[in-house]
Chains A and B, each alone.
Chain A
Amino acid sequence: MHFLKRLAYTPLLLLVISLLAFLMVHAAPGGPFDRERSPASPEIRRQMEAAYHLDEPLWKQWLRYLGLVWEKDQAGHWRHAPASWDISLRYRNHSVGDIITQAFPVSLLLGALAFGFAMGVGLPVGFWSAARRGGWQDQLGSFFALFVVCVPGFAIAPVLILIFAVKWRLLPVALWGSPLHAILPTLALGLYYAGKVARLLREGMLSTMTAEFITAARAKGLSETSLLLKHAFRLAVLPVVSYSGPLIAELLTGSFVIENIFQIPGLGVYFVNSSLNLDYTVTVALAVLYAALLIFLNLAVDFTYTLLDPRVNYE
């Protein structure tokens, strides 16, 4: 019931978000047709804005964006004006739908790989350092986790390229097109999140291991390994699960830095470029896409929570 109610709220939330994003991008000075060169006459510039209805009042542009405008045509009949949300102002031969359907699968794949990497490395490292608390393994693991969280991706990626692609020629320098092309970007993108996951898990484990039921289980003579794996891990992984929601939303919508450095045709570059180029429609569409993903994933996370931790009840 609780989840259904939240699901029902979602469209309204998305509408508010799209309005907010719409107002924000339109508040920026300048327009999509401001370039280094102006057209030969100011009239051309005026006509271009008219062709894309940028000269209309903002409320009307908003209605047009949603496809809620009816106009009189030359014959005097009322006609429905097509919705403008699908028209990219920068890539004028592509619709917004084209852009997202081309770029989203790429980001989806890279994001899934990076997520797999982050979990595949982060969880063992976190578990291991918690299990060997205080030992050199813990110090090594914790330091690794902290270190990768502290190095900016735009510094890691070029160094990886320099070593693996330019010096040793083991992997492609950039571009996207084969599994080998995916290795370096996955590493560069996933390392940061692997560190985050490891830190979360370690901390979760440490706090769970002081819990009463663990002490009780230990007193019963359960082996340390099964204690850690069966009991502590199940609870300690909860913070990681709740972090996964925003993490997946972030990964799936692409990363500007990684896509930029590796020349990957994903969605991430559009988040920056569309808002810098004032490509209004793409920016709003991306904001809505991201919000929808985030809301949906958070729902999924909360649902998983009720499965993993019987103490949680949202009703």
Chain B
Amino acid sequence: MSEPVENRTPNVHGSDERGPVAAATLTPTSDLRPGPSRRAWRRFRSNKPALLGAGYLGAWVLLVILWPLGLGVLGELGPRSAAIAAVYAPDQLSDTQFSPPTAGHWFGTDAHGRDVFSRVVYGAQVSLLVGVVGACVSLVIGVLWGAIAGYCGGRVDSLMMRIVDILYSLPSLIFVIVLLTTLGEWLRQSHFVQQSPTLAKELRLLLLFVGLGAVSWLTMARIVRGQVLSLRTRPFVEASRALGAGPLRILGRHIIPNVLGVVVVYLTLTVPAIVLYESFLSFLGLGIQPPMASWGSLLAEGVNQINPIRIYWWLIGFPGGVLVSALLALNFVGDGLRDAWDVRSQT
């Protein structure tokens, strides 16, 4: 893999609806009793890999929450346990550099003598956060954009979709690099950020959310627009309209529940794509900044150590294994949800 490619639809002049992604179709299920969500959930539960993936991810989330908490509690108990806690603090440097995995350091230590396990846990926090928040940013922009375009139709629709086409044709890499660097400097110099030290500290993370979300919303917008466009003219919507339902009721009762499935499925598949993209940016030196870490930056650091003379395998193996397994789990969950909702998209 190189730069992760989003699926791009063939019709750059997206005025016609028959683009393969926009063609992601969905069985209209509003008229079925058990409700689409409940039925989907039942199907999802019978999908073993998806359940396993969800469990694995849940375990990581727990670890991400409990590990710092545990260290914090340990730090409060007394001087001896505080010393132990300090050893596992992800930013605590020590003289035991490049120690292979031992009972004290399960994943070994890195170039600065930091505990790799702790860094992987903190990296999980950043990676998962970037993935989820980035996907949510793309969700908000994409759904709003797509829904407005699809619902309004006509001129508005074609103008909005033309903008999507143009952004699609820009190389996403150039877009992300310029966005991260330019926006970063602008924000940093803004009065708002300079007044607030916490904001300045988390600026990079914030930028990654925005930047990664900004390149991922295009596909979402197209999918949602296609859905809304086709749903608008479906018989059950027409019937509802004929019965005197207002636009809000139609949106709430018919369109949103039906779009929801596709959106959720696409969202879960966007998360691993963004996690992967973040790791790629880390390799470029554009991702998260030291001393913070993400799975991608840890792996990029480890890969930099591959050479014919001496290899610190634990710096590659553990971050790499965790990253790949988490991406697998995310994809299992995404695939599971897609099957459960019976969405025929081709992401």
Contact = CB atoms under 8 A, between A and B. Distances in A.
Q: CB–CB under 8 A between A and B in the complex?
A: yes
Interface residues of A, number: 68
Nearest to A203: B346
Contacts of A29: 181-182, 185-186
Contacts of B18: 312, 314
Contacts of B331: 146, 149-150
B296 A256 contact: no
B95 interface: no
A152 B280 contact: yes
Given A20-B166, A152-B299, A158-B303, A287 B171 contact: yes
A88 B181 CA distance: 21
Given A152-B280, A291-B170, A250 B5 contact: yes
Q: Which 7 A-B pairs have the closest CB atoms?
A: A192-B1, A255-B2, A246-B8, A291-B169, A150-B327, A239-B346, A153-B1
B166 A151 contact: no
A314 B177 CA distance: 36
Given A16-B166, A152-B280, A250-B3, 19 more contacts: A20-B170, A21-B170, A24-B178, A25-B174, A27-B182, A146-B328, A151-B320, A151-B324, A154-B300, A161-B306, A242-B9, A250-B2, A257-B280, A272-B284, A275-B174, A276-B181, A290-B170, A291-B170, A294-B169
A298 B283 contact: no
A141 to B, nearest CB: 14
A222 B186 CA distance: 66
Contacts of A191: 1
Contacts of B9: 242, 298
B194 interface: no
A248 to B, nearest CB: 11
Contacts of A17: 166, 169-170
A147 B328 contact: yes
A238 B311 CA distance: 45
B316 to A, nearest CB: 7
Contacts of B165: 13
A302 B10 contact: yes
A286 B166 contact: no
A275 B286 CA distance: 12
A242 B314 CA distance: 41
Interface residues of B, number: 54
Nearest to A189: B2
Nearest to B21: A242
Contacts of A257: 2-3, 280, 283
B216 interface: no
B170 A287 contact: yes
Nearest to A313: B18
A290 B169 contact: yes
Contacts of B68: none
Contacts of B185: 28-29
A283 B182 contact: no
A159 interface: yes
A295 B174 contact: no
Given A150-B331, A159-B306, A245-B10, A13 B173 contact: no
Nearest to A296: B12
A275 B260 CA distance: 38
Contacts of B7: 243, 246
B320 A155 contact: yes
Contacts of B10: 242, 245, 298, 301-302, 305
Given A21-B174, A290-B171, A150 B328 contact: yes
Given A256-B284, A258-B2, A155 B303 contact: yes
Nearest to B346: A239
Given A25-B178, A152-B280, A245-B10, A271 B171 contact: yes
24 contacts: A9-B13, A13-B12, A21-B174, A28-B181, A29-B185, A147-B324, A149-B327, A150-B327, A152-B1, A152-B299, A156-B1, A200-B346, A207-B344, A239-B346, A257-B280, A271-B174, A275-B178, A276-B177, A290-B170, A291-B170, A298-B9, A298-B11, A299-B12, A305-B10
A287 B172 CA distance: 9
Nearest to A268: B2
A171 interface: no
A287 B165 CA distance: 14
A294 B8 contact: yes
B316 A155 contact: yes
Contacts of A258: 2
B31 interface: no
Contacts of B170: 17, 20-21, 287, 290-291
